[in-house]
Amino acid sequence: MVEVKLVGLGKRYGSVTAVEKVDLTVADKEYVTILGPSGCGKTTLIRMIAGIIEPTDGKVYIDGKDMTGVPIEDRDIGYVFQNIALFPHLTVQNNVSYGPRARDLPPEEQKRISRRFLEMVKLLDKMGMLPGELCGGEQQKVSLARALSSGSKLLLLDEPLSALDSRVRVDLRYELRRLAKELGLTTIHVTHDQEEAQSVSDRIVLMRAGTVVETGTPEELYTRPRKIFTANFIGETNLLEGWVLEIKDGVSVIELRNGGNVRVNQADHPVGYAVVISVRPEFVFPADEGMRAIVTAITYMGTYWRVTANTEDEEEVAFDSATLDENLLTIGKEVYLAVNPKAAVLYPRPEDGVQEAIKLE
Amino acid sequence: MDSLIAVISRKRFRTGWTAFIIVFFLFFVILPTVYILSYAFTNWGSIEQYVLDDPAMLDLILNAISASFQIAAIVTVIDILVGLPMAWMLVRKQFRGKALLDTLIDMPLAVPTAALGFSSAIFFAVTPDALQAPSFALNAVTSPFILIILLHVVFSYPYMVRSLSAILVQIDQTYETAGRTLGASALSAARTITLPLFRAGLVTGIILCFARSLSETGGTMIALATMANSQGFQTGPTIIGMWKPLVETNTDLAAPLAFVSILLILLSLVLLLVIKLVVMKVHLPMGRIWPRPEKLFSRGWFPKTKDGLAVFFLVLFVLIPSFFIFTYVGSVESASFDWGPFTESLLFSFMVAGVVTVIDIALGVPLAVYIAKNRTGKLSDVLDVLVNVPLIVPTAALGYSLGVFWTGQNIIPTYDVLLIILAHVAFTYPLVVRNVAGAVEEVDPAFEETARTLGAKPVQAFRRVLYPIIKSSILAGAIMAFTRSLGETGATQAVVASAQTAPVYIVNLINLKTPSGYYTAGLACIVLIIVSFVFMLALRYITNRRSR
């Protein structure tokens, strides 16, 4: 059983704060991703868990044990590096058997373990090669096998897929989750790619500028984000500013700044309150009334069309359309747009403005 | 200007220029360096008569040469053993005073080896009473062999630390971290992962250190002269320095001189080839990990003791000997002396170094660019290997060989100054070429290609695009060439016996064996140190300003 608990964990470099007092518990066998834009402190965080970086505040507990002062090699972790970091002078097999060797297991045992994990990532046939002779995806698989070979039940993945080609990246994602679940590992996976986070995680921890913005399942963060930053960072969304015009039966009618009214199934803000609506493009649709806008671009996306339209005050609204009725949707055409009241989310309008709230740093 | 660019951009001109550079390199640098080897074929008779059939002579030569190689080997081993922990500390650790330590290591580099020789001999060796060594000098070493080892460690240690840390910086620390996440202790990870990756760089460090020790003449001469009793001890280069002035009156020495030079050149080339092969090919049983003892040594008192010893070594065996001359001069009675000849020899050294550096840059940069841009070509490969030859050959042997080569032909007039400059070009030229070639290879050819697509002629593309990028490397090469030339004694003496260089002047003073002679030698050393310090600071200032 491996549970990881961070209590007030922080790292300062002089006057610069890289990570500010993070509290987080990762349950046994849970797959958690730490997601955030570059520079948000996520890599510093995972490195503090591994012991590569000493925290300046707070503590890391692995399995209930305080890790302060415990060197990397005694933390019993598997770690996969962004730059792969296979030992260039050792063969694939010797890379994977390094962990067992460092623990002084007998040679037969070293061999058995390295074969087992190479088989698991389906690279048994590349055993005798040097890392430089493999392609990027294979290298990262070997490095995964190497991390697993230590037999640790805690797997730390530091941007494991960032260095790979896009196709390999997608394939390897599922491989990671499959292995983690098969072996019953507690996994902490750092990434800046929200799609990656959504497709592998049990739970996502979203970070920004050294602090945790919000934590939740991929579905929660996508459908009911509690912060404007989350709504904007995870998936795509339209952020529309307005005021609460009236409230009836738990439904708010919002008067938008760009003219037109929309309805949202939410009533936590009083009449007259300044709000921001987040609504994803798939929940905006042309209707008889609503926001008036002029179509400015239509992009074919494979299974649907992404339409961009400009409202009267030059605000851009994006929506998706499964069909393309050329009488209705052509560039320069005027449309009225409505939103699905169940799928829109209301936020109090931030004091510093919406742009400040969605800024990455 | 435009018509000039048009002329030098023509294909024929460029081919001709490249040919000229290569011919210069082969005929003015490589050929004179190893010319003396031909003596073995043309004058084997005299070698037999004057060396092989004369047991006393043969004995003297073989002893000196074997001492040279033994010293170089021992010095290299010491440098690695104590240089590695220091390099490790400077690259991988963060601690207070790191910047200071970093500067301290560079300090001895600013002291000319001649001054180092006198300074460390006073500190380490048992010296004559007339020298009045301060009572707190170590005053312990009576064996000339050990004294020379200590001296060579003093001047080669900073180079070793610098070259080791340069390689260490390039080895991604993630490898070691990865090893540690797999359960290896810090020591195990360093030994099984970082050290094997270190191999290629280690070869360079070893070869440079070995070659420097083998070449060193001025400091060695001075240290031996300073000892109370040097027991007639000689190294290969000092023998050349001793005989060269005599050969004009006693032609019997021509064969022994040639013999010593040939042995030095051949042995150093062969030996360094062997070192390269051994270090690259032989796999030490480094794979095994001993988790418990290595874990023990990774923590607590051991790393701290190791770092402490490294700093202790630096202070006692490098820094104090380097600067002991100041306490010496401060503690003895002063005497008046004539600065004239000394100033003259200093000015002469600077003049030579300046001219040499200009020639090195003018003719070295084009060769470097040629080598770097034609990496796939056979000729470029051969040139790349040849460039290292003058770096490895002991400079005294190089100087003697070069002197024989030029005085034997009637191609150029053989003025002393010209010969000295040619000799200095021969062993400094590779420094510029290697520095610049390394830098050019790092530059993405796309930059110059882009300039060419925008209509720039090759020479303009070089001038506007490549040159600004590699400027700092050219400057670094120039600084190395200048300081090497300034500190050189062996080659100068071997090419022109009567040359009054600063070290020769100091040796003459020491050989007077009078209190005032010693005092004056000390003062001269201090002047040398100050001049080269000021010079280094100025250069550093210029480089910093340029690179900004």
Query: How does pLDDT run across B103-137, given as a tens digit for each residue?
Result: 888 888 778 888 899 999 999 998 888 888 888 88
Quick one: pLDDT at residue B45? 84
Q: How far apart are CA A277 and CA A268, in angstroms?
A: 13
Nearest chain A CA: its distance from B442 CA (Å): 21
- What integer is the mean pLDDT of A255-259? 83
Whether A283 and A222 have beta carbons less than 8 Å apart is answered as no
* pLDDT of A222 strictly over 90: yes
Q: Where residue B544 falls among pLDDT bands split at 50, 70, 90?
A: low
Residues of B at the A interface (Cβ-Cβ below 8 Å)?
172, 174-175, 177-186, 188-189, 192-193, 196-197, 287-292, 295, 298-299
Quick one: pLDDT at residue B548? 44
| Cβ contact B291–A72 (<8 Å) | no
When CB atoms are compared, the residue of A71, A85, A149 closest to B178 is: A85
* pLDDT of A361 strictly over 80: no
B197 contact residues in A (CB cutoff 8 A) = 88-89
Q: How far apart are CA B145 and CA B230, in angstroms?
A: 9
**Three-state SS annotation for B207-265:** HHHHHHHHHCCHHHHHHHHHCCCCCCCCCHHHHHHHHHHHCCCCHHHHHHHHHHHHHHH
- What integer is the mean pLDDT of A20-42? 93
Q: How far apart are CA A247 and CA A263, in angstroms?
A: 10
When CB atoms are compared, the residue of B172, B174, B183 closest to A73 is: B183
Q: How far apart are CA B527 and CA B503, in angstroms?
A: 12
Q: A238-349 has which fold? A: OB fold (Dihydrolipoamide Acetyltransferase, E2P) (2.40.50)
| Cβ contact A102–B172 (<8 Å) | no
Whether B244 and B261 have beta carbons less than 8 Å apart is answered as no
Q: How far apart are CA A277 and CA A237, in angstroms?
A: 10
Q: pLDDT exceeding 90 applies to what percent of chain B?
A: 21
Quick one: pLDDT at residue A81? 92
Q: How far apart are CA A256 and CA A276, in angstroms?
A: 9
* pLDDT of A90 strictly over 60: yes
Nearest chain B CA: its distance from A207 CA (Å): 24
Nearest chain A CA: its distance from B301 CA (Å): 16
Choice between B340 and A93, residue whose per-residue pLDDT is larger: A93
Q: Residue B377: CB partners within 8 Å, gap ≥ 6?
A: none
Q: Where residue B334 falls among pLDDT bands split at 50, 70, 90?
A: confident
Burial class of residue A157, CB neighbours in 10 A (0-12, 13-18, 19+): buried
B182 contact residues in A (CB cutoff 8 A) = 73, 98-99, 102, 146-147, 149-150
Q: How long a stretch of residues is chain A?
A: 361
Q: Where residue A46 falls among pLDDT bands split at 50, 70, 90?
A: very high
Q: Which of B93, B181, B280, B288 to mutate to test the interface with A (most CBs of A within 10 A)?
A: B181
Q: Where residue B287 falls among pLDDT bands split at 50, 70, 90?
A: low
Q: Where residue A35 falls among pLDDT bands split at 50, 70, 90?
A: very high
How many interchain CB pairs under 8 A, A with B?
76
- What integer is the mean pLDDT of B508-516? 84
ipTM of the complex, rounded to two decimals: 0.82
Lowest mean pLDDT among B260-269, B406-415, B452-461: B406-415
Superfamily classification of domain A4-231:
P-loop containing nucleotide triphosphate hydrolases (3.40.50.300)
Quick one: pLDDT at residue A42? 92
* pLDDT of B547 strictly over 60: no
Q: What is the mean pLDDT of chain A?
A: 90
Structural domains in chain B, CATH included, are 1-37+334-548 (1.10.3720.10), 43-332 (1.10.3720.10)
Give Cα separations from B461 to A141, A274, B367, B448 (angstroms): 44, 60, 17, 6
Q: What is the mean pLDDT of chain B?
A: 85
Q: Is A105 helix (H, G, I), strand (E, B) or coil?
A: coil
Quick one: pLDDT at residue A89? 87
Quick one: pLDDT at residue B64? 93
Quick one: pLDDT at residue A5? 94
Residues of chain A with CATH 2.40.50.100: 238-349
Lowest mean pLDDT among B52-56, B429-433, B541-545: B541-545
B181 contact residues in A (CB cutoff 8 A) = 50, 72-73, 77-79, 147, 150, 156
Residues of chain A with CATH 3.40.50.300: 4-231
* pLDDT of B527 strictly over 90: no
pLDDT digits (tens, 9 = 90+) for B38-96: 888 888 888 888 888 888 889 999 999 999 999 999 999 999 999 989 999 998 888 88
Quick one: pLDDT at residue B157? 92
User: What is the DSSP annotation of B301-324?
Assistant: HHHHHHHHHHHHHIIIIIIHHHHH
